[in-house]
Amino acid sequence: MGTGGIIKKNISGWLIMLPPVILFAFFVWEPLLESVRLSLYRAQGIRTIEFIGFKNYINVVQHPDFLPALRNTFSYTFWSLIIGFLVPIVLAVIINEVRAGKSFIKTSVYIPNVVPGMAIVMLWGFIFRPGETGALNIILGKIGIAPLPWLTRPSWTIPLIVVTMTWKAAGATTLLYIAGLQGIDPELYEAAIMDGANIWKRLRYITIPCIYNLARTLLILQIIAVFQILYEPLIMTNGGPNNASISIMHLVYKFAFERFDYPKATAVSVIISIILVVLTLLYFKISKRQDS
């Protein structure tokens, strides 16, 4: 193939890619760059007034809610890895071992993903409501247990919110793991059983290694998603009690829609992006080292 043919082939490929590239640049890169620009200015609404450099970033970092929000966001991420990351794997393994009613169980597990997220948050807010009017406390009262504070106890707030998030999202992730498990060659299990391997050894030496790459991908996606948690603590606790559940995205919401200070809101957003980029690069570096 001559040079002209190669150029013609490349032009055809670029013409095919051009529409999605333009849309991606318009809806992703342009707002991102505009956010970075806005974070460096003092503004009235979204109308910039004067360039102030990194002053918005300094003011944001010195804000009394910033460190609690950042600490809580890492706490959300930690608890999501303890609860939300393991639950779908366990469910997938259990469902994969079930012989009867597998389709019904899959449908039941996935149903919470169909329900609107706001409805689920309000539902669990009612379940965990403190006092005698909360659904869970009503049930406990029937068996003689005094009402528990639930979301009003700071040490319980974040784990309970993560439980809500897990109940909402675990079904879809479970189906992904089930698809990965069904791609494992059954002869591997048959050979292991013939060699006397019990279920724990089969999980350790066959199941986990075969879904390792899938779990690794879903891990980083979950960290990115949980790090941007907003409406769960906003609706269930409004960041309380005493900032015990405020997230870094909740702080963005406060700057943007309560104080209408968009430069500071975009400054926090840029900080979030930088943290996520650093975490992602660190994750890929560790993964690459393990692969090698």
Residue type for position 199 = I
pLDDT for position 5? 59
What are the distances in angstroms from CA 146 to CA 23, 86, 141, 153, 187?
Answer: 56, 31, 6, 15, 54
Looking at residues 214-242, what average pLDDT do you find? 88
**Residue, of 245 and 291, whose pLDDT is higher:** 245
**Which pLDDT belongs to residue 197?**
78
Mean pLDDT across the stretch 22-33?
A: 84
Q: Is the pLDDT of residue 288 over 80?
A: no
- Report the alpha-carbon distance of residue 267 to residue 52 in Å, rounded: 12
